[in-house]
Structure 1
Amino acid sequence: MSALRARLSAILLAACLLFTSQALLTPDRAAAADPGYLMTHFIGEGSNNQQIYFSYSTDGLKWTDLNGGGIALRSTVGTKGVRDPALVRSPDGSKYWIIATDLCISCGQSWSDAINNGSRNLVVWESTDLINWSQPWLLNVAGAIPDGRNAWAPEAIWDPASNDYVLYWATNVPLDGKTKHRIYYARTSDFRTTTTPQTYIERPGTQEIIDTQIVEMPTGVGNYRYVRASGDGQITLEGSNSILGTWTNLGNLSGIGLTGAQVEGPMWMKFRDRNEWALYLDQYSSGRGYMPVRTTNPSASGTYQMPASGSYDMGATKKRHGSILNLTAAEDSRVLARWSDIPAKRLQSYNFQDRYVRHANFDVRIDQNITNLDAQFRLRPGLAGSGTVSFESVNYPGYFLRHANNDFQLVRNDGTTQFAADATFRQVAGLADSTWSSFQSYNHPDRYIRHYAYQLRLDTITSATARGDATFRVTN
């Protein structure tokens, strides 16, 4: 944590809002600071853990959870869970995509279901800035594979030979009645349509392969332009000078005691300041998440070294199969400004102090005994103006409390000026008790957030009862 705290201290400006005793800081990047690394990953089983999470590192080895360790993006399509996310940047940096396995284990789907009759789709998000992301959509990649049973662990790499992306993933096509995952690929330019899938990697006999990730090599390092690491019973290394060309077996990591029975989810990272790479491997068999195995030549299996004790720190949450992006300075500034930690808060009713503001089926009310994420919000700088606040849901990131026709709903930010105004409020001294808070509408300053019959609404305040209804405590 110390590295990130030092970094944030160099890029944070003065507090723009005061929430009770909590200052909310708006970060601004120091021009001289080196950009860091962004990891996208999931953190475990269950509906909340199988979503998109972001983590950040200044050096590629010590990681801090972004967004307070909470969900960054939630899937609302398919199984409503995602694993194995890959973060893809376009060559010109104008677009980004996250592609992920449509899978939610322990939330209505078993491993047997997922292997033998799983989703044939991938889940995709798109962004132009790493900050504002589209609604997710489903991309059917395995439906055209004869007897294809699922679509797992997607990756994509830009192919300069054809000016599009090679999208690749694992699908189970049983052999002689037994499970056999192979890697398939298709071409795409927009992650909305693809060419007909083709077999990309198939191991002999009954041997399976599920996870594989390719890294491009700089000139002068090793004998191949591309190196891929795959989980196929070992962590097998292969090299090629063409993404869809012939690949040469370069050995595996058994020499340092690692096999595919111990680790999975290979994830490459190039250190920014030197010709050294970390191959992050998910220690799934022991339940410990990622660790970095380092090398100065990814194509030479004998150069890989296990990490020394204390040489890395994966942060507060377990990091599971994902990908790492080396950020530019502009990306770094945006990522830290948007996803740096803002603690989750609850809004306690003044005149019903056993009740808190919560969302349920996207409606907003005050309820008793609510301790789950439905009653937790991040008080972000107001979407419409300085000195204001907007309430972002913790378990539905990108969704904010918004008024419409004086009613409140939890609604996804559509980026419009109208949405920003409807979702922005001024925090003022509590109308019933100045030590508490009230929230004045930004675009209807004669009205305040209040509850009425336990429902949240936007109203003018003309009575003592209404003043109590419109008063809240911002609390942990």
Structure 2
Amino acid sequence: MRKLTMIMSVLLLLNVTGSKGQSKSNPYLFAYFKGNGEDGLHYAYSEDGYKWAALKNDLSFLSPTVSKDKLMRDPCIIKGKNGVFHMVWTVSWNDKGIGYASSKDLIHWSPQEFIPVMANEENARNCWAPEITYDEASKTYMIYWATTIRGKFPETASTADDGYNHRLYYTTTKDFKTYTATKLLYDPGFNSIDATIVKDAGQYIMFLKDETPEPAQKNLKIAYSKSLTGPYTAASAPITGKYWAEGPTSLKMGNTWLLYFDKYTEHKYGAISSEDLKTWKDISDQISLPNGIRHGAILQISSKELGKLRAQQ
């Protein structure tokens, strides 16, 4: 009887734990776009953080409706207060605002809104890759993105890449109805885009892309802060390899960090892992994602939430 009980216990453990030690009750969801973002929001899920399967036969869950271009690129979703999901995205290559919508189930979304975050900057050219991070202490959401403002930061100006010369900007909100005035979040001393910020061990960790075109960098780096709104430290040395990478999104399983990113010139995804955020190992050969996936963001959801998503046809 004791032997049978032990066997049943082992089988139960195997049933609720993924191959990498991830509980199946807490699956991961990857929100992403395809093509130019014209068809909207796509999802893939994973039980172990490595192998991903598209949901709804890789059809869109939400079509974009705002901005003259009506795109839904670079979606970022977080689960906020009262279990409500909040999403922001890039609506256009050249617009002074971003998209926003909310949902209680990741399926039915509120009417899409255009937030004119750079409307007061006459020379702003764009708003790219917005993300949201929640500050538990102040009960405040920070939305941040990359913008080029003509004439600013001449020390890193270039005619390459159509003259874009980005820095990172932010606004905060408690209710997604009123927003603070837009401010500069981070000037690392170089053209920078695609920031994503997570809190761990009492500090905020920013992964970002060095977008310097000449000589080309196009790699990912890290900066740190004790406060969500900064100031952030100088950026680290590159943590990605001899390829062009963008659109980082991270997850942490136990003591292991996984950083996913778009190897966009190679038309595929890559990933690196680390135990200390200093030494990184390329694990691109260990991951599997849907064909044609472009960058987005990873969040953790419940098995019940995933079940509803898997039921969509």
In the other structure, the counterpart of 2:121 is: 145
* Residue from 152, 160, 172 that aligns with 1:187: 172
- The one-letter code matched in structure 1 to 2:61 is A
Q: Which residue of 1 aligns with 2:46?
A: 57
CA RMSD of aligned residues (A): 2.3
1:80 positional shift: 1.5
List aligned pairs for 1:423-438, cutoff 5 A: none
Task: Give the number of the structure with larger relative contact order, counting CA–CA contacts within 8 Å between residues 6 or more apart.
Answer: 2
Secondary structure at the aligned position of 2:296 is classed as strand
Aligned pairs for 1:453-472 (under 5 A) are none
Partner of 2:86: 97
1:281 is matched with 261
SS in 2 for 1:249: coil
- Partner in structure 1 of residue 230 of structure 2: 245
1:131-280 to structure 2, matched below 5 A, reads: 131-175=107-151, 178-204=163-189, 207-217=190-200, 219=201, 225-232=203-210, 233=217, 234-249=219-234, 251-253=236-238, 257-258=241-242, 262-271=244-253, 274-280=254-260
Match of residue 381 from structure 1: none
2:272 to 285, 293, 299: 293
Matched letter for residue 175 of structure 2: D
Aligned-partner Cα distance in 1 for 2:248–2:37: 22
Quote the Cα distance in structure 2 between the aligned partners of 1:45 and 1:167. 22
SS in 1 for 2:307: helix
Identity of aligned residues (%): 28
| Residue 292 of structure 2, aligned match among 288, 294, 318 | 318
The superposition leaves residues 193-217 of structure 1 with CA deviations (integer Å, 9 ceiling, x where unpaired) of: 311100111243xx31111101111
Query: Of Structure 1 and Structure 2, which has the larger fraction of its residues in strand?
Result: 1
Name the CA distance, whole Å, in 1 between partners of 2:109 and 2:103. Answer: 5
Quote the Cα distance in structure 1 between the aligned partners of 2:78 and 2:58: 22
For 1:244 and 1:46, how far apart are their aligned partners in 2?
Answer: 29
Asked if 2 retains the 8 angstrom alpha-carbon contact of 1:235 and 1:258, the reply is: no
Alpha-carbon distance in structure 2 between the residues aligned to 1:88 and 1:279: 17
Matched position secondary structure for 1:333: helix
**Are 1:334 and 2:313 counterparts?**
no
Structure 1, unmatched stretches of 5+, are: 1-9, 12-31, 104-113, 343-476
- Corresponding residue number in structure 2 for 1:22: none
SS of 2:236's equivalent in the other structure is strand
The AA in structure 2 aligned to 1:281 is F
The amino acid that maps onto 1:242 is: S
Give the TM-score of the pair, scaled to structure 1. Answer: 0.54
CA shift for structure 1 position 172: 1.0
Matched residues in 1 for 2:237 and 2:176: separation?
32
Paired with 1:144 and 1:275, the residues of 2 have a C-alpha distance of 43
Secondary structure in 2 aligned to 1:285?
coil
AA aligned opposite 1:172: T
2:288, 2:230 → 1: CA distance?
Answer: 37
* CA drift at 1:340: 4.2
Q: Following TM superposition, by how much is the alpha carbon of 1:287 offset from its aligned partner in structure 2, in angstroms? A: 1.5
Distance change in 2, residues 1:283/1:308 (3 Å): closer
Where in structure 2 are the equivalents of 1:385-464 lying within 5 Å?
Answer: none
- Residue 62 of structure 2 is aligned to residue 77 of structure 1: no
Give 1:93 shift.
Answer: 4.4
> How far did residue 319 of structure 1 move?
2.0
Partner of 1:124: 100
Structure with larger Rg: 1
Residue 88 in structure 1 maps to residue 78 in structure 2 = yes
1:252 to partner: Cα distance? 2.8
TM-score normalized by the length of structure 2 = 0.81
Task: Indicate the residue corresponding to 2:26 in structure 1.
Answer: 35
- Contact conserved, 1:277 with 1:296, CA < 8 A, in 2? yes
Deviations 1:289-309 (A, max 9, x none): x222111122x2xx2110163
Distance 1:80 1:180 in 2: 24
Letter in 2 for 1:338: L
- 2:160 maps to which residue? none
Q: Cα distance, 1:76 vs. partner? A: 1.6
Q: Which residue of 1 aligns with 2:9?
A: none
SS at match of 2:308: helix
Report the Cα distance in structure 1 between the residues aligned to 2:262 and 2:83, rounded to whole angstroms: 30
CA contact (8 A) 2:28 2:298 kept: yes
